[in-house]
């Protein structure tokens, strides 16, 4: 039995916005259901080529994006292979040019310092031309400001901005954050999320918890 193709375009007539889980092909890049990317400059179908940079198979690192994320035009995910090692006395990537410098090809990955995977939680909003660097983990519900450069982990439901990005404030109080983290509404079936939408949109965590109990 053939697997049905995933939906790519959320809105009729809008070719600037795509669901990423229907676009990405590289098995080391994953995006959860309903996570969308908008691009009014380039074709959003080219997300892997234009937005996931220095992501070479030799390093084995991954980009993992959760569900219901909103990614604005020009956001970039820059991986470890863009780095130059700081452990050497020179930042020149000699191992990368192994033919020129008679070094083993097996040492190619020593040209940079390995920072690891980029992991983005669910319900995250990444603003226009924001840059997420390798090794960064972004918590659920976080907001990344336009043109922010994220060099370190972002807590759930934090709003960050600037270069380098720093926390501006939390979106909600700690009680609300804990409740949202426990509910994980984004993992529910679509029909149940539709039932919760009025409470979600109201901004009232008590209303959401009550609606959740009625499911």
* Active-site residue list: 84
Q: Output the 3-class SS for the chain.
A: CCCCCCCCCCCCCCCCEEEHHHCCCCCCEEECCCCEEECCCCCHHHHHHHHEECCCHHHCCCEEECCCCEECCCCEEECHHHCCCCCCCCCCCHHHHHHHHCCCHHHHHHHCCCCCCEEECCCCEECCCCEEECCCEECCCCEECCCCEECCCECCCEEEECCCCEEEEECCCHHHHHHHHHHCHHHCCHHHHHHHHHHHHHCCHHHHHHHHHCC
């Amino acid at each position: 039995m053939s697997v049905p193709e995933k939906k790519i375009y959320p809105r009729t007539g809008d070719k600037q916005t795509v669901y990423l889980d229907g676009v990405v092909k590289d098995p080391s890049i994953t995006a959860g259901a309903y996570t969308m990317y908008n691009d009014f400059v380039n074709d959003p179908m080219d997300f892997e080529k234009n937005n996931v940079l220095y992501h070479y198979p030799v390093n084995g690192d991954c980009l993992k994006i959760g569900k219901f994320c909103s990614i604005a035009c020009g956001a970039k995910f820059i991986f470890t292979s863009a780095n130059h090692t700081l452990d050497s006395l020179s930042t020149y990537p000699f191992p990368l040019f192994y033919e020129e410098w008679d070094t083993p090809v097996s040492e190619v990955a020593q040209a940079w310092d390995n920072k690891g995977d980029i992991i983005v939680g669910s319900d995250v909003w990444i603003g226009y031309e924001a840059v997420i660097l390798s090794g960064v983990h972004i918590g659920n519900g976080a907001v990344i400001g336009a043109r922010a450069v994220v060099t370190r982990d972002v807590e759930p439901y934090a709003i960050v901005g600037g270069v380098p990005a720093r926390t501006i404030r939390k979106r909600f109080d700690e009680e609300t954050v804990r409740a949202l983290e426990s509910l994980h509404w984004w993992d529910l079936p679509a029909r149940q999320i539709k039932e919760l939408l009025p409470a979600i949109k109201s901004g009232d965590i008590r209303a959401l918890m009550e609606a959740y109990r009625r499911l």
